Amino acid sequence: MLVSSSQRLTFSTEDAAAQTVADLILATIRDIAEPVLGLATGATMEPVYGHLVAAYKRGDVSFARCTTFNLDEYVGLPAEHPGSYRSTMNNLFFDHVDIDKSRTFLPDALQDPTDVIGEVYERKIEEAGGIDLQLLGIGRNGHIGFNEPGSAKDSRTRLVELHAETLEANARFFTDRPVPAYAVTMGIGTILAARQIVVLATGSGKADAVFHATNGNFDPACPASALLEHCNVKWVLDTAAARLKSAA
Ligand code: GLP
């Protein structure tokens, strides 16, 4: 059954969309005593973290009360590799604000055996009280986190193999080696358990995925379409990503 009450907010520039997402995160931090944020990576998110850091530098916010869980991490990359999502988050956000780094979590993709990583991560999220706001980008093929097409709607944090399209799209972040072929990602079910979801999509390259995700029912070929079944989702778009009309 569809219980979707998604909201679609469209802005004329990428930056206005990113500012709106940053404002939604700041509002959550102001409203909740111990906010738990689900964070995302990808080039789309860079201006969001820029706005959050700027708000901190202006003295408008403290991140000291926050706990964060990132969606995903590559397998087999040392944390200090510039392509790892740990490095990315440190460089873009954590190193510039007053967050307690011991409460910033990413799947521990160096842990072995890999099949326990998911359980450990799910337990940590549960112990933190669940995710108040999950930030999401979307892949051109409709992936969320690293849940590639074909992922089950009730999937949980697990090891996944990345599709060729995703490896190609993310090659721009790796200069010294190929993109790792495996990652650990929160599942679609993990994402749907968040109390609020904010998706940011900008640029015409995302228009097809946004259309597919918001126009119809859940289609395993477009993992983001699972969001139709969540009761509190905001799609924040620029006009290029929103150019195909949908029902959202
Ligand atoms: C990666 C991340 C996703 C992200 C996607 C889109 O695959 N795992 O969480 O949404 O890239 O990234 P970009 O914003 O660079 O297009």
Give catalytic status of residue 143 as yes or no: yes
Give catalytic status of residue 141 as yes or no: yes
pLDDT score at 166? 92
How many CB atoms sit inside 10 A of residue 158's CB? 23
Q: Which atom of ligand 1 is nearest to the CA of 185?
A: 8
How many CB atoms sit inside 10 A of residue 84's CB? 22
**Does 113 sit behind a cis peptide bond, omega within 30 degrees of 0 on the bond before it?**
yes
| Ligand 1 centre distance from Cα of residue 163 (Å) | 13
Q: Which atom of ligand 1 is nearest to the CA of 137?
A: 10
How many CB atoms sit inside 10 A of residue 119's CB? 12
pLDDT score at 160? 95
User: Which positions ≥6 away from 86 have C-beta within 8 Å?
Assistant: 73, 79, 80, 106
CA atoms of 163 and 246, how far apart (whole Å)? 26
Total-model pTM: 0.95
Asked if residue 146 has its Cβ within 6 Å of ligand 1, the reply is yes
User: Which positions ≥6 away from 112 have C-beta within 8 Å?
Assistant: none
Give catalytic status of residue 72 as yes or no: yes
Mutate to test the pocket of ligand 1, among 14, 21, 39, 44 (most ligand atoms within 8 A of CB): 44
Per-residue pLDDT of the chain (248 residues; tens, 9 = 90+): 344 568 999 999 999 999 999 999 999 999 999 999 999 999 999 999 999 999 999 999 999 999 999 999 999 898 889 999 999 999 999 999 999 999 999 998 877 667 788 999 999 999 999 999 999 999 999 999 999 999 999 999 999 999 999 999 999 999 999 999 999 999 999 999 999 999 999 999 999 999 999 998 999 999 999 999 999 999 999 999 999 975 44
Asked if residue 137 has its Cβ within 6 Å of ligand 1, the reply is yes
CB 226 within 8 A of CB 194: no
Q: Which atom of ligand 1 is nearest to the CA of 43?
A: 15
Q: Where are the alpha helices (DSSP H) in 6-154?
A: 14-31, 46-57, 85-92, 117-127
User: Which positions ≥6 away from 232 have C-beta within 8 Å?
Assistant: 5, 195, 196, 197
